[in-house]
């Protein structure tokens, strides 16, 4: 993946300047994505509206990889509208990803990595696995917000 373009997050009314001083590096966000234990994903449907749930996942090959039951509300929502938001649990060190969930297969490498991280070995292959390469991401630290508020755009 090419390094994303970093710019100021455009949150009107929150005191975010156009000055680049204090912006975060993409590597800062990647470090947190890689070590996080729990992630939240937000999906939506026209019938039932927004839906947010925690999932386990991996940051690998420049994308977020997770699974969910093939018949779960998350999976049904993603089948109808694959746009998704992924964020970490922390409000102190924030990383949010916006992207499109692509169905994928769980390879042996993914299962091995999942097992190391969670001491749980899901079945290889199967339905309900997704890969989310980010299209846009936001990151900031609560302790120095709004100076650290950074937006990342991906080609």
Domain boundaries, the chain: 5-147
Q: Which two tokens stand for residue 124?
A: 């290889």
What's the pLDDT tens digit per position in 13-47? 888 888 899 999 999 999 999 999 999 999 998 88
Q: Which two tokens stand for residue 151?
A: 């937006």
Q: Would you state the pLDDT for residue 1?
A: 60
Say what the pTM is.
Answer: 0.94
Percent of the chain at pLDDT above 70?
Answer: 99
Q: In what order do the strands lie in the sheet with 102-104?
A: 57-60, 63-67, 129-132, 102-104
Name the band, by pLDDT with cuts 50, 70 and 90, for residue 10.
confident
**Residue 39: strand, helix, or coil:** strand
Q: Would you state the pLDDT for residue 121?
A: 93
> Using CA atoms in the order 114, 116, 117, 122, what is the torsion angle rounded to 10 degrees?
30
Q: Which fold has domain 5-147?
A: Pnp Oxidase; Chain A (2.30.110)
SS3 content of the chain, % helix, strand, coil (to 5): 20, 40, 40
Name the band, by pLDDT with cuts 50, 70 and 90, for residue 109.
very high
């Amino acid at each position: 993946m090419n390094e994303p373009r970093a710019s100021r997050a455009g949150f009107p009314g929150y005191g975010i300047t156009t000055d680049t001083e204090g912006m975060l590096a993409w590597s800062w966000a990647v470090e947190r994505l890689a070590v996080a234990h729990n992630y939240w994903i937000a999906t939506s449907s026209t019938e039932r509206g927004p839906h947010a749930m925690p999932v386990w996942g991996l940051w690998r090959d420049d994308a977020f990889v997770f699974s969910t039951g093939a018949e779960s509300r998350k999976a049904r929502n993603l089948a109808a509208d694959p746009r998704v938001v992924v964020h970490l649990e922390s409000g102190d060190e924030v990383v949010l990803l916006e992207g499109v969930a692509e169905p994928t297969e769980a390879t042996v490498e993914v299962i091995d990595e999942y097992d190391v991280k969670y001491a749980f070995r899901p079945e290889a292959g199967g339905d309900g696995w997704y890969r989310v390469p980010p299209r846009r991401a936001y990151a900031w630290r609560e302790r120095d917000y709004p100076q650290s508020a950074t937006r990342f755009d991906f080609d």
